[in-house]
Structure 1
Amino acid sequence: MEQRDVRGDAVMTRIGQAIMLLHAGDREEARNRFGTIWSEIGEYGDDLHRCTLAHYMADTQDDPGDELAWDLRALTAAEGLAERPAGDHRHDGRDRCDCHDGCDECRRGDACGAHGASSERPDASAVRTFLPSLHLNLAADYLKLQRFEAARLHLDRAWDAVGVLEDDGYGDRVRTAIGRMEQRMRGSAAGP
C-alpha cells in the first residue's frame, strides 16, 4: 500500500509502531496497542487509520472468526474512503479535517474546498491499491471457516482489483499471493 506522509500524524505513527511489534513476533503486545488505538479512533475515525489498524489487528487474532471480523472492518473503511467523491473531505466530529491540511474551512467545520473538486485524496488512491490484499485476506479468512462461496467471492474481487497494482515488489507479492490462494481454492473445491 502506498504510504501517505505520516509526519505529524501521531495515530499512524502509533499504528506503525504496533505493526513493528507484530512483525517482530510480539502479537500480544501489538494486539494490546491496536486495541488501545481502536478505542480512541473507533468506528467513525479516519478511514485510513481504521483500515490500516483493522487490517493488522486481524493478523493478531487467534480465532478465525475474530480475524474475519477485523478484516471486514478494514474492508469497510477502505471502501468508504475509496468510494468517497473527489473533493469530499469529511470531518470526524472532533473539529479535525480528515484531509490532513487543516484548512480554514475545515477548522470552521465548513465543507473543505481546499483541494478542488477534481482532486482525489491521496489516501483514497492508496486504499484502492490495498483492496486486492484486503479481499485476499477475506478469502483466506472464509476458507479457514470453510465458507467456500464467500471465499470464492472475495478471491474473485481480489482478481478484479489487481489492475490498480503497480508492476513493483508490492504488486508482484500481492498477485503471487492471489495466485497461491487460487490454487488453494481449487484444492479445497473438491471438498465441499
Structure 2
Amino acid sequence: MTEQQREASEDAVMTRIGQAIILLHAGDREEARNRLGDIWNEIGEEGPALHRCTLAHYMADAQDDPADELAWDLRALNAADGLRQEPITLPLPQPHSAVRVFYPSLHLNLAADYVKLSRPEAARIHLARARAATDALADDGYGDGVRAAISRLELRLGTGPDADPRPTPFPGQQ
C-alpha cells in the first residue's frame, strides 16, 4: 500500500467515525454505538491512535451504563497517550503539541464518569489533571466550554478556587 493509499484509507475511517458522531449528536445513540463498534472491530486495539482516541471518546458518550462509559473513556486516554509515539498526519505546524489539547476534555470526562460511579476521590484526581492541562486550550469557544465544565464540576466536588468548602454529597453519602 502506498503512502497516499494509506492516508486515503485513514481519511475514510475518520469520515465514518464522523458520520457516527453525527448520529450520536442527533440522538440516535444505539445506531451510533453500533457503527462505532463496527469501526472499533475493524481497527482494533492496535489501530492508529488518533482513530482509537476519537472513536473511544465518542463511544463513551454513546454508552448507557456508567461503567461502560468509564471503560471507553479510559481507552480514549490510553490512545491519546499513544499519540505521542505515533506519527500524526494532521495539517498542523506542531502536531504532537496539538495532542495536549485532548487531555483537559479526556480527564474531565473521566472525572464525570467517576462522579456517576460514586467514586469522588478518583473524580477529584482526574478533575485536577483536567484543570492542570487547560493551558493547552485556546481562548475560543471550545476551550471556554471545557474550562467552564471543569469549573462546574469543581464546584460540585468542592474543589477549585471558588468551591464551597462543603461539597455536595454523592448519592449514598451523608
Report the TM-score when normalising by structure 2: 0.82
In 1, Cα distance between equivalents of 2:132 and 2:108: 11
| Cα shift at 1:128 | 1.3
| Cα shift at 1:125 | 3.1
Which stretches of structure 1, 4 residues or longer, exceed 2 Å deviation after superposition?
124-127, 187-192
Q: Which has the higher contact order (CA 8 A, sep 6+)?
A: 1
| Cα shift at 1:126 | 3.1
* Higher helix fraction (1 or 2): 2
| Alignment partner, residue 21 of structure 1 | 23
Is residue 2:68 matched to residue 1:66?
A: yes
Query: Structure 2: which 5+ residue stretches go unaligned?
Result: 1-6, 159-166
In 1, Cα distance between equivalents of 2:169 and 2:47: 39
Residue by residue over 1:35-69, the C-alpha shift from the partner in whole angstroms, topping out at 9 and shown as x without a partner, is 00000011111111000000000001010000000
In 1, Cα distance between equivalents of 2:108 and 2:47: 24
Residue by residue over 1:4-30, the C-alpha shift from the partner in whole angstroms, topping out at 9 and shown as x without a partner, is xxx831010000000000000000000
Instruction: Indicate which of 158, 168, 171 corresponds to 1:188.
Output: 168
Report the TM-score when normalising by structure 1: 0.75
Instruction: Indicate which of 19, 34, 51 corresponds to 1:49.
Output: 51
In 2, Cα distance between equivalents of 1:16 and 1:126: 19
* Identical pairs, percent: 68
Is residue 2:124 matched to residue 1:156?
A: no
Residue by residue over 1:159-182, the C-alpha shift from the partner in whole angstroms, topping out at 9 and shown as x without a partner, is 110001111111100000000010
